[in-house]
Amino acid sequence: MSSSPFQILATEAPALARRLAEISVGDGPALSRTFGAIGRWGEHGTPASVPADLTPDGRMTIGDLLRAALLERAVPGLGNQAPAALRRLTQTGDTAERVIVLRMLHRLPEPDRFLDIALEACRSSVLPVFAAIACGNPYPARFFPAAAFNQLIAKLLLSDLPLTAVIGLSSRRTADLLRIAEAYASERRAAGRPLHPDFPLLSNTQQEIRP
Amino acid sequence: MTMFDPHIHMTSRTTDDYAAMREAGITVVVEPAFWLGQPRTHVETFEDYFLALIGWERFRASQFGIRHFCTMGLNPKEANSPELIDGVLGLVDFYAAKDGVVAIGEIGYDDQTAAEDRALLAQIEIARRHELPILVHTPHRDKRAGTLRTLDVIREAGIAPERVLIDHNTEETLPAVLDSGCWAGHSIYPETKMDEQRMVALVRRYGSERIIINSAADWGVSDPLKVPKTASAMRAAGIIESEIHRIVWENPVAFFAQSGRLDIAEVESVKAVDQRQLWEGNSVLRGQTPLIDA
C-alpha cells in the first residue's frame, strides 16, 4: 500500500501533523466531533502528492488529508466500536466527510467489518458518495459479495462514471454480471437510448469469465 | 378530460405544481410513501412523514381542487437498513388503517437483497390484513430479472393479481406483467424510465386494459404534468378518446377503488376549492386572495 495519510501530512504540512498527533480522540462521539471540525484546521491548498485510492481525481484538499490521517490514527484505538463509529460518521457527515470515510475503509484494520457502510454508500443517490466507493477504490472487489458487486456495476452503467475506474473488475466478471450487463443493454436498445461508453468491457466474451 | 396521477410524490413539489396540475385536468393523485433522497436514520422520522401524507399534504392538495390519497410502505431502498425495518413495518401496519390510504406501497426490490425479500413479504401480509391492494416498485438495475422475481413472490404469496399494480414498466417488463394478470404502471419521465412516444407505442401494441401511467414526479428532475402530456401525445397519435380515458382515469380509479376507501362517485364529482380553510391553523396562502369556488 502507498504512503499513509499521516506520513503525507507530516511531509506536506508538518505543523498540522504535529497538532493532529497531540490530540486524543477517545471514543466514537469524540471522533465525530473532531472529524467534522478538523477539515478547517489547515489552509485550503491541495497536497502535492496523494495516493490514487484516496483521490482518483486528484481533488483532495489538505482538509481531506487531515480527515484521512485522523481516521488512520483514531480507528485502531476504537477496537470493536469502530464499525458503529464509522457508521455514525457516514450517517451524520456532509458529502466531503462521507467520501473520506469511504476511501479510507480498505486502509483501516479489519476492513471487512465495514462492509455494511460500503454497501450503504452504493445505495446513495449522491454521486460523489457512490463514486467514492465505486471508482478507484479497491474495497468492493476485495470485500463485496457477488450480488452487491454486480449491483454496483449495474448502477455505474446508469451513471456517467467510467467503468474503467472500477478496481478489480476483471477479477469479478462472473456469468451473472455479464447477464445483468446484457439485460441492461437490451433494455437501453428497446428504449432507443445509448449504451454506457465503457459497456464493451462487460460484453467482451474473449476475456475469462468466472463461474 | 379529468385525469388521475396515481404515482406522484407531492410532498416534494410546490403549490405552483398543484395549480398547474389542476389547470391541466388532474383531479386525483395517489402519493406513495417512498424515500427522501437519502436514508432516514430514525424510525420516528418515518412516522412524521406518514402523518404528513395523511394530514398536511392531503389538505394542501384540497386547496387546489385535487383529491389526495396515499399508500403506506417501507420503500425497498430503506428496507436495507436493519435497525429500521421492524419499527417501520409496525408503523406501516398502524397507518395502513387510516382513511385515504388506498394501498400498501411502494414496496418491492431495489438491490434485490434478502432484506428486501423480507420487507416485501411482510408488507404483502400487511396488505392482506388491511384488505388493501399493493403498489410495487420495480428496480432500476437488472430490471427485468427483478420484475420476474417480484411476480414470482406475488404468485407464491397467493395475493390476487388484480390487486397488484406493478410500476415503472418498460418494453421489456410489460408483457410478463400483463400475462401475470397484474396491473401495469408506467412512469413517464423526462429522461429515464418511460417517455411519451414510447408509451404511445406500447398502447398501440398492447391496448389499454390494465395499463396505467403516472408522472412519478418527486424531488428530482421530473414533470408533474406528464400524465396530461402523455394523454396529448396519445391523442396526437390517433389513439381514441375512450382508450385514453381508460388509461388516465378509469384504470387507476378501478384499481385503487379495490381498497374500499376511494369512492368512485365522489372522485368523479368536482372538488370545490375554498382557500379560506386552515390546517391546524396554517394556510397555503401567503397574503394572496383566497380562491373560493361558488
Average pLDDT (A101-110) is: 97
Write the residue in B111, B194, B198 that is nearest to A123 by C-beta: B111
Are B143 and A123 an interchain contact pair (Cβ–Cβ within 8 Å)? no
- Give a yes or no: residue A131 inside a domain: no
Are A27 and A110 within one domain?
Answer: yes
Our CA-based measurement puts residue A96 at a distance from the nearest CA of chain B, in whole angstroms, of: 15
Residue A147: its chain B contacts at CB < 8 A? 111-113
What contacts B159, CB < 8 A, 6 or more positions away? B124, B127, B128, B134
A19-47 b/e with 16+ CB inside 10 Å = b?
ebeeeebeebeebbebbeebbebbeeeeb
Are A105 and A148 within one domain?
Answer: no
Rounded to the nearest 10 degrees, the angle between the axes of helix A5-12 and helix A62-78 is 140
Are B207 and B243 contacting, i.e. CB atoms less than 8 angstroms apart? yes
How many other β-carbons are positioned within 10 Å of the β-carbon of residue B245? 16
Instruction: List the grid coordinates of A78.
Output: 476504537
- Give a yes or no: residue A167 inside a domain: yes
Residue A150: its chain B contacts at CB < 8 A? 142
> How far out from the chain centre does Cα B164 lie?
12
Lowest mean pLDDT among A40-54, A86-100, A187-201, B244-258: A40-54
Are A123 and B141 an interchain contact pair (Cβ–Cβ within 8 Å)? no
Our CA-based measurement puts residue B41 at a distance from the nearest CA of chain A, in whole angstroms, of: 7
Are B231 and B196 contacting, i.e. CB atoms less than 8 angstroms apart? no
Are A109 and A142 within one domain?
Answer: no
- Give a yes or no: residue A133 inside a domain: no
Alpha-carbon distances of A56 from A62, A201, A202, rounded to whole Å: 15, 20, 22
For chain A, the domain total comes to 2
Average pLDDT (A152-165) is: 95
pLDDT of residue B152: 97
Digit-coded pLDDT (tens) for A112-135: 999 999 999 999 988 999 999 999
Are B238 and B198 contacting, i.e. CB atoms less than 8 angstroms apart? no
Are A104 and A185 within one domain?
Answer: no
The residue segments making up the domain with residue A67 are: 1-117
Are A97 and A147 within one domain?
Answer: no
Are A2 and A101 within one domain?
Answer: yes
Are A67 and A104 within one domain?
Answer: yes
Please count the helices (runs of H) and the strands (runs of E) in chain B: 12, 8
Our CA-based measurement puts residue A127 at a distance from the nearest CA of chain B, in whole angstroms, of: 12
How many C-alpha atoms does A11 have within 13 Å on its Cβ side? 10
Are B172 and A124 an interchain contact pair (Cβ–Cβ within 8 Å)? no
Average pLDDT (A132-158) is: 97
- Check if B80 contacts A (Cβ < 8 Å): yes
- Give a yes or no: residue A17 inside a domain: yes
- Average pLDDT per block of 10 residues along chain B, 294 residues long: 96 96 97 92 96 95 96 95 94 96 97 95 97 97 96 96 97 97 94 87 97 94 95 97 98 98 92 86 85 86
- Give a yes or no: residue A149 inside a domain: yes
Are A62 and A111 within one domain?
Answer: yes
Average pLDDT (A53-82) is: 90
A107: nearest Cα among A148, A73, A77: A73
pLDDT of residue A206: 43
What contacts B195, CB < 8 A, 6 or more positions away? B188, B189
Are A91 and B172 an interchain contact pair (Cβ–Cβ within 8 Å)? no
Our CA-based measurement puts residue B276 at a distance from the nearest CA of chain A, in whole angstroms, of: 39
Instruction: List the grid coordinates of B30.
Output: 395517489
B78: nearest Cα among A85, A120, A149: A120
**Three-state SS sequence of A143-154:** HCCHHHHHHHHH
Residues pairing with B101 in the sheet? B70
Peptide linkage before A43 cis (omega within 30 of 0): no
Are A13 and A57 within one domain?
Answer: yes
Are A171 and A95 within one domain?
Answer: no
CB contact residues (below 8 A), chain B span 169-198, against chain A: 170-172, 192, 194, 198
- Check if B117 contacts A (Cβ < 8 Å): no
- Give a yes or no: residue A27 inside a domain: yes
Are A150 and A58 within one domain?
Answer: no
Domains of chain B, start order: 3-268 (3.20.20.140)
**Does residue A38 come out as left (phi exceeding 0), alpha (psi in the -120 to 50 range) or beta?**
alpha
pLDDT of residue A208 exceeding 60, the answer is: no
Q: What is the pTM of this model?
A: 0.87
What B273-280 contacts at long range (C-beta under 8 Å, 24+ apart), as own/partner pairs, is B273/B62, B273/B63, B273/B64, B273/B65, B275/B63, B277/B59, B277/B62, B277/B63, B279/B55, B279/B56, B279/B59, B279/B60, B280/B56
Are B172 and A119 an interchain contact pair (Cβ–Cβ within 8 Å)? no
pLDDT of residue A154: 96
pLDDT of residue A39: 83
Are A8 and A77 within one domain?
Answer: yes
- Give a yes or no: residue A90 inside a domain: yes
pLDDT of residue A209: 52
The owner of cell 393479481 is B161
Are B111 and A186 an interchain contact pair (Cβ–Cβ within 8 Å)? no
Nearest-Cα residue of chain A relative to residue B219: A125
The edge-to-edge listing of strands for the beta sheet with B3-5 is: B3-5, B26-32, B67-72, B101-108, B134-137, B164-166, B183-187, B211-214
